[in-house]
Structure 1
Amino acid sequence: MNGAKLAYRPIGLASGVLGGVVAGAIVKRVWKKVSGEDDAPSALQGEYPWKEVLLAAALQGMVFAVVKAAADRGGAVAFQRLTGYWPGD
């Protein structure tokens, strides 16, 4: 079983990177629809009010967490189908 976890590492890493790219694109599209601006504000951009900065951070956190969970789970399911082993146990 330890071999399965080790073999899964590159798949998990690749799905995490791909998930980050997808999540970034989703956040950008949602933020543009919500605010009309291309990019969400960061905490260090002083021209934005607290409310807007915190809303942007909450949106980013939610989207990244959901996409990461979907990518991790999808990668694990695909790995199990290919090898017969579940990589997370």
Structure 2
Amino acid sequence: MKASKIAYKPVGMAMGALGGILAGALFKRAWKRLAHEDEAPDATDEFRSWREVLAAAVVQGAIFAGVKAAVDRGGATVIRRVTGSWPG
């Protein structure tokens, strides 16, 4: 296993945890702006429409995927600068 890949493991885990926290906060802010509500609907909330539940899921998924990609790419870039090779 390459040194860069080994070095990336703990960095990736730490950045993943921080990315999850960041994505959660971004989703809450986005949902407040989009829906003018404090809480996003749960999938099992019988008083919410399919449209509301699916819209919330799509927005949340997009935000989490975007943050994950940015965090992963940033971590890999840092490891390349430190070790000289891409952790792939």
Query: What is the CA–CA distance in structure 1 between the aligned matches of 2:87 and 2:39, rounded to whole Å?
Result: 36
Query: What is the CA–CA distance in structure 2 between the aligned matches of 1:34 and 1:13, rounded to whole Å?
Result: 31
Deviating beyond 4 angstroms after TM superposition, the runs of 4 or more aligned structure 1 residues are none
Q: Give the superposed CA RMSD.
A: 1.0
Q: Equivalent pairs: percent with the same residue?
A: 55
- Displacement of 1:4 in angstroms is 2.0
- Displacement of 1:45 in angstroms is 1.1
Give, as a single letter, the amino acid of the residue that structure 1 aligns with 2:22.
V
| Greater relative contact order (CA < 8 Å, ≥ 6 in sequence) | 2
Query: What is the CA–CA distance in structure 2 between the aligned matches of 1:7 and 1:67, rounded to whole Å?
Result: 21
Contiguous gaps of at least 5 residues in structure 2: none
Q: Which residue of 1 aligns with 2:24?
A: 24
Give, as a single letter, the amino acid of the residue that structure 1 aligns with 2:71.
A
Query: What is the CA–CA distance in structure 1 between the aligned matches of 2:78 and 2:7, rounded to whole Å?
Result: 13
